Chain A
């Protein structure tokens, strides 16, 4: 079978990346809650404990703060931990270690240490898990110099960006949308990396640039198909990395299309789309704009339990279609 045609799920792609890294480097190990025999809450670590043993697929107590600190200390002293948060929401319990320690250690110590740490955050809504298990907090961590924050949207990128993160000497935070875990896509066998800090143009178009993150990339692509029937041709940019942001790709795209729509699941106010919008407003692309910049983000509410309410909280394909149509037709 052609390696390029092989399909894996997003979760399998992550698992394969971790296995490759652990196979290649004794220092790489996994930490997290119930990642051993249980296989992780989303079965991302799966049966890796059988292959690598409990020392390298290490169940922690339910101690997010302490566990994150252990990972920071291990990373500073020669190991390369991959720390799984069971849900990204639980990062709130560990922010001290992430924000004050991991992100700043190298800087505070004048470059005397590096913190080669990877943290994985299952994120996002759509699973009926309600307000404390459904958030998208990437902008929180994206605000912190010293961290790198990525949101791979496809199985291919999930594997390649995770391998890049493991090889990176600095702390990399990976936000994985839970609804993507079962999505399948082509994933080459063996080692490859997808660079951190580089956006990807998923679909070329001339009328409008849509900068989307994570699961919204797929919704934007779906919207693009619907709009094509109306004669509207949109360009979909997959941001992939929140920090450091690939400004060039977005600026060049907006200069070409003269319109910008940002689509992201996190609460709209002060989210990633705000940063993209402001960046474009400050850039040479501003003079090329033919319409105001528009953001489609999550509602200003916690994620509700009721499935209809939950769906209404985050941008859906019809919302993207409507917003794009309005922008291109000059309604906005």
Chain B
């Protein structure tokens, strides 16, 4: 082997997973989508503050690397179930932000035609079977989707996103057990942001790591730093490959942090400003990813600025699309309760 090739191999094997596995174009696209998630949520928050969006919403700002890293190995027809904090999952799985904003505005052009809102955002065509307003509600549904994949031999893998709060629901335990005994192609992803609403995992959960629960269901339990894109992607690739090979489920615990409160009613009394600021200034997933991209020569400051500008425009257009879209007709109130028979 030529000396140069040996050197290159040595260098490349020392690189983190994502920089060995993805090309520069893919990595730049990851950055764009992480920005898209963040700016989407900032835009949604702004619209909410200005009274353009009603109800409530649960923002995942600070968790972007987790959503993107997990979705990287998924094919378009692979499926996910998501949570009340699901905007990032939706975008990471390929949703259009215009249709998402339209849903938040309650418009007919929204993903759920204005019937679901933030908490039920879905994009079935892209494999997102829906966010869910019930903690742990989507976990058994993901197992059911994985049962379909196995029975119908579609080769699909299903990812079930949930938060740390869900790990103390019975549905979590029942679903993991069934996925394991039936060896179903499903990946359980616990995005542990430290708090179930106001209750910290220390106070709510008997085990130190939620991934420790995996042992009870005879599946691998993997802990990753959820703010480092490459680490999340690496764990997801391994789990998705294992699922696709018919070897059964994996539980990934992606340790991360949400900057915003649980929902719009949160006064942030259960954590300190210092704690939040520490995460924002020292462990921000986008900042960490940008630093790596620069370090490995994939993008420079100017390139990053260009990505931000593209996203800024996309978000502005998406909000305009939502504003200009029609509201549902009140006469259509009963639509979609039952399947309309031809």
A residues with a Cβ closer than 8 A to B are 27, 29, 55, 60-61, 63, 65-79, 81, 96-97, 100-101, 105-114, 145-146, 148, 169-170
Q: Given known contacts A107-B336, A110-B110, is B174 in contact with A63 (CB within 8 Å)?
A: yes
A-B contact pairs, 27 of them (CB 8 A): A61-B174, A63-B178, A65-B140, A66-B174, A66-B175, A69-B139, A69-B171, A70-B140, A70-B141, A73-B141, A74-B144, A78-B148, A79-B152, A96-B134, A97-B140, A100-B137, A108-B115, A108-B116, A109-B124, A110-B110, A111-B113, A112-B111, A112-B122, A112-B125, A148-B338, A169-B341, A170-B338
B152 to A: closest C-beta gap in Å: 5
Partner of B137, one of A27, A70, A79, A97: A97
Q: How far apart are the CA atoms of A15 and B215 in the complex, in Å?
A: 39
Partner of A77, one of B114, B144, B338, B341: B144
B133→A100 contact, CB < 8 A: yes
1/0 per residue B86-108: CB within 8 Å of A?
Answer: 00000000000000000000000
What are the 6 A-B residue pairs with the smallest beta carbon separation, nearest first?
A73-B144, A69-B140, A66-B174, A110-B113, A73-B141, A110-B112
Across the interface, name the chain B residue whose C-beta is closest to A115: B339
B177→A109 contact, CB < 8 A: no
Q: How far apart are the CA atoms of A187 and B25 in the complex, in Å?
A: 66
Partner of A100, one of B134, B147, B177: B134
Q: How far apart are the CA atoms of A29 and B337 in the complex, in Å?
A: 25
17 more CB-based (< 8 A) A-B contacts, given A63-B174, A65-B170, A74-B145: A61-B174, A66-B140, A66-B173, A67-B174, A68-B140, A69-B140, A70-B140, A71-B144, A73-B143, A76-B141, A97-B171, A110-B111, A110-B112, A110-B336, A112-B112, A112-B124, A148-B338
Q: How far apart are the CA atoms of A210 and B250 in the complex, in Å?
A: 57
Partner of B151, one of A79, A100, A106, A109: A79
A25 to B: closest C-beta gap in Å: 12
Across the interface, name the chain A residue whose C-beta is closest to B117: A108
A79→B147 contact, CB < 8 A: yes
B171→A66 contact, CB < 8 A: yes
B339→A170 contact, CB < 8 A: yes
Partner of A101, one of B113, B134, B151: B134
Across the interface, name the chain B residue whose C-beta is closest to A112: B124
B175→A70 contact, CB < 8 A: yes
> Across the interface, which residues of A come within 8 angstroms of B140, CB to CB?
65-70, 72-73, 97
Residues of B179-193 at the interface with A, using a CB-CB cut-off of 8 Å, are: 181
B293 to A: closest C-beta gap in Å: 36
Partner of A146, one of B116, B134, B144, B337: B337
Q: How far apart are the CA atoms of A306 and B133 in the complex, in Å?
A: 43
Across the interface, name the chain B residue whose C-beta is closest to A75: B144
Interface size on B, residues (CB 8 A): 47
Whether a CB of chain A sits under 8 angstroms from the CB of B335 is yes
A66→B152 contact, CB < 8 A: no
Partner of B144, one of A69, A96, A100: A69
Residues of B310-342 at the interface with A, using a CB-CB cut-off of 8 Å, are: 335-339, 341
Q: How far apart are the CA atoms of A225 and B28 in the complex, in Å?
A: 81
A70→B170 contact, CB < 8 A: no
B174→A76 contact, CB < 8 A: no
A73 to B: closest C-beta gap in Å: 2
Whether a CB of chain A sits under 8 angstroms from the CB of B67 is no
Q: Given known contacts A73-B144, A96-B137, A109-B112, is B174 in contact with A55 (CB within 8 Å)?
A: no
A107 to B: closest C-beta gap in Å: 5
A49 to B: closest C-beta gap in Å: 16
> Across the interface, which residues of A come within 8 angstroms of B120, CB to CB?
108-109
1/0 per residue B135-162: CB within 8 Å of A?
Answer: 0010111111111110110100000000
Across the interface, name the chain A residue whose C-beta is closest to B81: A73
Partner of B170, one of A66, A77, A114, A148: A66
B174→A65 contact, CB < 8 A: yes
Whether a CB of chain A sits under 8 angstroms from the CB of B79 is yes
Whether a CB of chain A sits under 8 angstroms from the CB of B251 is no
B130→A72 contact, CB < 8 A: no
> Across the interface, which residues of A come within 8 angstroms of B147, CB to CB?
70, 73-74, 79
A111→B144 contact, CB < 8 A: no
Whether a CB of chain A sits under 8 angstroms from the CB of B53 is no
A70→B122 contact, CB < 8 A: no
> Across the interface, which residues of B come within 8 angstroms of A63, CB to CB?
174, 177-178
Across the interface, name the chain B residue whose C-beta is closest to A79: B148
Whether a CB of chain A sits under 8 angstroms from the CB of B243 is no
Q: How far apart are the CA atoms of A98 and B224 in the complex, in Å?
A: 34
A77→B174 contact, CB < 8 A: no
A67 to B: closest C-beta gap in Å: 7
Whether a CB of chain A sits under 8 angstroms from the CB of B30 is no
Whether a CB of chain A sits under 8 angstroms from the CB of B252 is no
A54 to B: closest C-beta gap in Å: 11
B137→A66 contact, CB < 8 A: no
Whether a CB of chain A sits under 8 angstroms from the CB of B211 is no
A141 to B: closest C-beta gap in Å: 15
Across the interface, name the chain B residue whose C-beta is closest to A148: B338
Whether a CB of chain A sits under 8 angstroms from the CB of B129 is yes
B181→A61 contact, CB < 8 A: yes
A256 to B: closest C-beta gap in Å: 30
Q: How far apart are the CA atoms of A69 and B173 in the complex, in Å?
A: 12
> Across the interface, which residues of A come within 8 angstroms of B81, CB to CB?
73
Partner of A70, one of B114, B143, B149, B338: B143
Across the interface, name the chain A residue whose C-beta is closest to B115: A110
Across the interface, name the chain A residue whose C-beta is closest to B173: A66
**Could you say which of B79, B149, B175, B336 has the most chain A C-beta atoms within 10 Å of its C-beta?**
B336
B311 to A: closest C-beta gap in Å: 26
Q: How far apart are the CA atoms of A60 and B149 in the complex, in Å?
A: 18
> Across the interface, which residues of A come within 8 angstroms of B125, CB to CB?
112
A34 to B: closest C-beta gap in Å: 15
A43 to B: closest C-beta gap in Å: 25
> Across the interface, which residues of A come within 8 angstroms of B141, CB to CB?
69-70, 72-73, 76, 97, 101
Q: How far apart are the CA atoms of A219 and B148 in the complex, in Å?
A: 43
1/0 per residue B211-253: CB within 8 Å of A?
Answer: 0000000000000000000000000000000000000000000
Q: How far apart are the CA atoms of A74 and B139 in the complex, in Å?
A: 12
